[in-house]
Each structure stands twice: as structure tokens, then as C-alpha cells.
Amino acid sequence: MIGASGYAGEELVRLLLAHPNVELAAITSRQFSGKPVADVFPRFAHIEKAMSLKFSDARPDELVRQAEIVFLALPHGLAAEFAKPLLVAAANPSSGGQAGARVIDLSADFRVHDAGVYKEFYGHDHPAPDLLGQSVYGLPEIYREQIRGAKLVACPGCYPTSILIPLRPLIRRKAIDRQRILVTSLSGVTGAGRKIEADYLFAECNESMRPYGVPKHRHLSEIEQELSILAGEKITIQFTPHLVPVNRGILTTICADIAANVVNLDLKLLFENAYGQEPFVRLLGDERFPDTKNVVGTNFIDIAWRIDPRTNRLVVMSAIDNMVKGASGQAVQCLNLMCGYPENAGLL
């Protein structure tokens, strides 16, 4: 693991320390270099490995010798810098392909295929545009097969996970008007990462509700990319995120017009066909509502729906833990696919 001092990093440490098939070989952090994991994250203090394993400085050349899989839990921009040497070694024929490592990146650096879109939304040139073609978008509900063989997996953001899974079967089955999709999300404060800024102080967030990032949040780049691929045409959505005083969770509400030619839409059938076999999708139907407290600490996404006969729209609602299904749990789910482990290994 490279860069483990953020909230997603801490959660990934938790999952990897408990994973039956994983041996955590090295963990890096400039800030905590030299300190045992258990000192930095006291809630792991009883785990032997957490007491013996120390944070080190990130040396990609060493890491490729130590590990088969390298997780990057770094800020965007920086992740691509670290991915390069790891992947180049892997691709180098003279190394026999064995010196390299497969990479699971939790940042935004390899989610968007188009370097121009990346620059538009992230405000700087992509640091490794030549690698963009190699990455697989790490959403198993869409790209399960491609993830198995991937060298570089780009784990989706938390908002995109909560939006794409519910929308995929609706887009695929042409159930909705693709040009009239409106999404509202509520996010817990860890969604902002462990940013030491006034906006995220306790007394600024507690007893507060606020929208932000309207109308062009960065995650729109990957959301619209994936929706457009699914639809086979350019899709643009409305997206309004809000910050809410809970530690964890994303609650997403999607409203869309039912497509003009659709009659007797059976959402239960549609979602069960799409996700009845998915290990981490729970379908709540049209009588219950998702609640983030039911998914916190788990890798599940809960999905419920309603048809509004007054407006001929459907409302689909989802809940995930932004740190698990929205980040580190999904990364482990990808790891399981890449390594041929049971898909839910270490996640139940």
C-alpha cells in the first residue's frame, strides 16, 4: 500500500489485515514513516501484524519486488506518478514481467479515459496519459471480466459507485429518458478525506447541511463517461452533492422520466435480472427505503425504487458506505477478482 494515512487508506488497512488471502508486505507514508501501523491507527492495536509492520517511505522499485499487487491511496496527480514505474517494470520484457506489480488505484487518476476530460475536471495535465489506455474501471458490477485480467484498476469514486450501479440496468434496458437524469447525493464527512481544513472541523460540519460542488463536481467526469458507454451515446446529468454530519455513507436519489415508449415498467424484474446474483447488491424493492446506517462498515449497496404515477418518473435510491463500497471495499473486491479469490473474501 502506498499512501495509507487518509481515511480510505485506514479502511483499506483494516480490510487487508483481516483478509484471509492477503499478506500486507509493505505500507508507506511520508508523514508516518518509521512508526508501527498500530501507533498511527490505535484501533488496530491488538493485531500482531499492525504492531510489527512499520510505515516506510515509498520506493516503487522495492515495492515491485515485495508485492504482487500495489494499492495506491494517494491524492490525484500523485497516484499516476507512482503508478508509472510500477507498471513500466511489469511491462518490461527484460524483467521477465516478474519485477512489475499490478496496481489498484483508489485515486481519480485512471478513471477517465480521455486526458482532455481529466484536465477539464481536475485542472492540470494528466501526468501519465499513455497509461490511460491500460486501466480498467474497477466497478465489478459492470467490468467484472475485464478486472480479472487487468494490470491497472482504477477504483471508482464514492458518488459514481452509488449512481452507476442503480442506473446501469435502467440505461441498458432503455427504461428512462437518458437526457433527463437528475441525481442528488448526501455524503458523510469522510467523503472529503482527512483534509485538515476549517470547512471540515467538527463545529463547522455538525448541525450543518450544505450543498457544494454545484453544478460541476469532478466525479461527473467518470459518471458521464460510464453512462455514455452504457448508452452508446453522450449522456449529461444533473448532479447535486451535499455534505451531511455523519462520519460515513452516501445516500443517492436518482429521478428520471420513464422513457416515452415504455409501458408497465417492472422495476423489480429489471433490477433482479440485473443484480439478483450480485454478491454486494441488495434490492429493497418499492416499499422500503435505503438507510446508510444499514450499510456502514459493509461492502453492500442497498437499492430501492418508486414509480411516481403523478409525474411518470421513477425515483431510485441507493445507500453505500463511502469508505467501503465507495472506496476500499471495492478495491478489495477488485483484488479478489484479479487474484482469483472468492469475490467476497475479506469482505463479510
What's the gap between Cα 257 and its chain centre? 27
Minimum Å gap between C-beta 105 and its own copies is: 23
Query: Is 16 an interacting residue with respect to its own copies (CB under 8 A)?
Result: no
Window 220-239: contact mask with its own copies (x via CB under 8 A): ----------------xxx-
* Cα–Cα nearest to 167, from 34, 287, 6, 314: 314
What letter does residue 259 receive in the DSSP assignment?
A: P
- Asked if 48 is part of the footprint of its own copies (rule: CB under 8 A), the reply reads no
Interface with its own copies includes 319 (CB under 8 A)? yes
Q: Would you count residue 273 as binding its own copies (CB under 8 A)?
A: no
Fill in the per-residue mask, 89 to 128: x = in contact with its own copies (CB under 8 A), - = not in contact.
Answer: ----------------------------------------
Main-chain phi, psi angles of 313, to 5 degrees: -115, 165
Distance CA 151, CA 87 (A): 8
How many angstroms separate the CA atoms of 241 and 216, rounded?
A: 10
Residues serving a catalytic function are 158
Q: Where are the alpha helices (DSSP H) in 44-150?
A: 48-52, 60-66, 78-91, 115-122, 140-149
Work out whether 300 is an interface residue with its own copies (CB under 8 A): yes
Return the C-alpha cell found at 84. Answer: 508509472
Q: Contacts with its own copies in 183-202 (CB under 8 A)?
A: 184, 186, 188-190, 194-198, 200-202
Judged by CB, which is closer to its own copies: 200, or 341?
Answer: 200
Distance CA 267, CA 246 (A): 30
Q: Which of 68, 247, 272, 345 binds its own copies (CB under 8 A)?
A: 247
Given the complex with its own copies, which of 24 and 189 has the nearer CB atom? 189
By CB under 8 A, tell whether 336 contacts its own copies. no
Q: How far apart are CA 98 and CA 90, in angstroms?
A: 6
Residue 33 binds its own copies (CB under 8 A): no
Please identify which residue in 48, 203, 261, 277 interacts with its own copies, judged by CB under 8 A.
203
Q: For residue 240, count other CB atoms closer than 10 A to its CB.
A: 16
Number of residues that bind its own copies (CB under 8 A): 74
Rule CB under 8 A: say whether 297 interacts with its own copies: yes
